[in-house]
Amino acid sequence: MAGRRGFNVCVVGATGLVGKEIISILEERKFPVKSLRLFASERSAGEKIEFMGEDITVEPLEGASFKGIEIGLFSPGASVSKVYAPKATSEGCVVIDNTSQFRMEPDVPLVVPEVNPHRIADYRKRGIIANPNCSTIQMVVALKPIHDRFRIRRVVVSTYQSVSGAGKSAMDELSEQVRMLFNMRGFECRVFPHRIAFNCIPHIDIFLENRYTKEEMKMVLETRKIMEDDSIRVTATCVRVPVFVGHSESINIETERPVTCEEVRKVLEDAPGVEVVDDPENAEYPMPVDCSERDEVFVGRIRKDESVENGINMWVVADNLRKGAALNAVQIAELLIKEYL
């Protein structure tokens, strides 16, 4: 970024978990910010968030003007992005949206920089670039190098998703339930339909007519769009687990071409954004507790699926607030200013 001019940037949803992570990553990566404006709901307006040693006051989103802002990093609810992303683009701001609102719209690029960075050029159609779902992002970072080399026919994925994917209130609910259970006291389930402490809930987002959840179908549809290959068959089961940060995924892959574990390991070791941790004899494999606050997608437990001819199993873990959301958005913005703005 050296030598490049600064850009006028805003963060919408600045007081949420992802919004705060975006602000932190902008500072960590020395993103060329000329000015930073922060927007949130009326109840959060007036809060102060530190950026580069300066306290910035959060402004109310309602009635906000985006004139003069060049890049908008959005992470509010989908219904909020539906209203304010088009408003921002109409005033000259390029929006990188972290919600599900625009992901499957054909004229909006859905981008993971390690996988399909060329699609960023399509921002010119609507002025919007969509950030994929957190569970999809980490999966496709691991799938892409394998697909390029061996061509993937089918993916079966089971996810073990942390409560931070449902926001700060979900993290608070897990903490409260653990505390109440140890003190043998009652509690309410406000965020999740069932107790999350010491439990697993196979239910993320709403159920659809096909009996899959919306989260599961996001993984199916988004993977095909990002990989630019509708022939890849994907099926998913998404489970919420009592982990604060970090999504884990058990992924089974069938390829068209014969493949060995050693070949997959080598391909992944050379892939951008991937770190292989795969020494099970010494109990070394990715775990959420080790991947928190890390940028990479971690892959381990690479092994042959002995039930099919060209099958591989692997275990993939990433920090869902970073690579699964905030970091991916900032990486898109970095490529946007490097190549297009």
Residue 40 contacts residue 46 (beta carbons within 8 Å): no
Neighbour count for residue 234 (Cβ, 10 Å) = 21
| Three-state secondary structure call for residue 235 | strand
The pLDDT value given to residue 296: 98
pLDDT of residue 1: 35
- In Å, how far from its chain's centre is CA 194? 24
Alpha helices (H) along the chain: 17-28, 78-90, 123-126, 134-150, 168-182, 214-227, 261-269, 288-291, 327-339
Biggest alpha carbon–alpha carbon distance for the chain: 60
Among 10, 93, 247, 291, which one carries the catalytic annotation? 247
Give the pair of three-digit tokens for residue 157: 């994925």
Average pLDDT over residues 88-92: 98
Q: Which amino acid is at 34?
A: K
User: What is the C-alpha separation between 318 and 18, in angstroms, rounded?
Assistant: 15
Torsion from C-alpha of 40, 46, 49, 55, nearest 10 degrees: 140
312 and 185 in a common domain: yes
**Residue 329: phi, psi to the nearest 5?**
-65, -45
Higher pLDDT, 20 or 4: 20
DSSP 111: -
User: Active-site residue 189, yes or no?
Assistant: no
Q: How confident is the model at residue 120 (pLDDT cuts 50, 70, 90)?
A: very high
Residue 2 — pLDDT band, cuts 50, 70, 90? very low
247 is catalytic: yes
Main-chain dihedrals φ then ψ at residue 128, nearest 5 degrees: -125, 135
9, 39 contact by CB (below 8 A): no
For the stretch 234-274, pLDDT in tens is 999 999 999 999 999 999 999 999 999 999 999 999 999 99
Does the pLDDT value for residue 3 go beyond 60? no
Q: Please give the C-alpha separations between residue 178 and each of 202, 204, 290, in angstroms, as whole numbers.
A: 20, 21, 22
Cα dihedral 230, 121, 136, 276, rounded to 10, equals 110
pLDDT digits (tens, 9 = 90+) for 72-86: 999 999 999 999 999
Residue with tokens 């719209």: 105
Tokens coding 82: 């539906």
Q: Are residues 140 and 240 in the same domain?
A: yes
Domain count, the chain: 2
- Looking at the fold, whether 48 and 153 belong to one and the same domain comes out as no
Active-site residue, from 134, 147, 238, 291: 134
Burial class (CB in 10 A: 0-12, 13-18, 19+), 123: buried
Mean pLDDT for 313-324 is: 98
Q: What CATH number does the domain containing 99 carry?
A: 3.40.50.720
Q: Tell me which residue of 329, 339, 340 sits closest to 10, measured CA to CA.
A: 329
Average pLDDT over residues 19-34: 98
Residues 155 and 83 placed together within one structural domain of the fold: no
My answer on whether 189 and 164 are in the same domain is yes
- Structural domain containing residue 272: 135-320
| Residues above pLDDT 90, as percent of the chain | 99
Strands 311-318 and 247-255, bridge-based pairing:
antiparallel
User: Which CATH number do you get for residue 149?
Assistant: 3.30.360.10
Strand pairing class (33-40; 59-60): parallel
Average pLDDT over residues 190-215: 98
Q: Is the dihedral of CA 60, 63, 66, 71 positive or negative?
A: positive
153 shares a domain with 120: no
The per-residue pLDDT for range 282-312, each reduced to its tens digit, is 999 999 999 999 999 999 999 999 999 999 9
Contact 228, 238 (CB under 8 A): no
329 and 283, same structural domain?
no
Residue 128 lies in a domain: yes
Quick one: 280 and 213 in the same domain?
Answer: yes
Does the residue 111 lie in any domain? Answer: yes
Together in a domain, 259 and 279? yes
Q: Are residues 329 and 219 in the same domain?
A: no
pLDDT for 5? 78
Can you tell me the mean pLDDT for 33-41? 97
pTM above 0.85, yes or no: yes
The whole-number pLDDT of residue 68 equals: 98
Alpha-carbon distance of 200 to 337, in angstroms, equals: 42
> What's the pLDDT score for residue 292?
96
In this structure, is residue 2 part of a structural domain? no
pLDDT tens digits along 61-73: 999 999 999 999 9
SS3 content of the chain, % helix, strand, coil (to 5): 35, 25, 40
Mean pLDDT computed over every residue of the chain: 97
Does 88 share its domain with 151? Answer: no
Residue 295 has what pLDDT?
A: 98
Q: What is the pLDDT of residue 172?
A: 98
Percent of the chain with pLDDT over 70: 99
Identify whether residues 244 and 147 lie together within a single domain: yes
The whole-number pLDDT of residue 258 equals: 95
In whole angstroms, what is the distance from residue 260 CA to residue 127 CA? Answer: 43
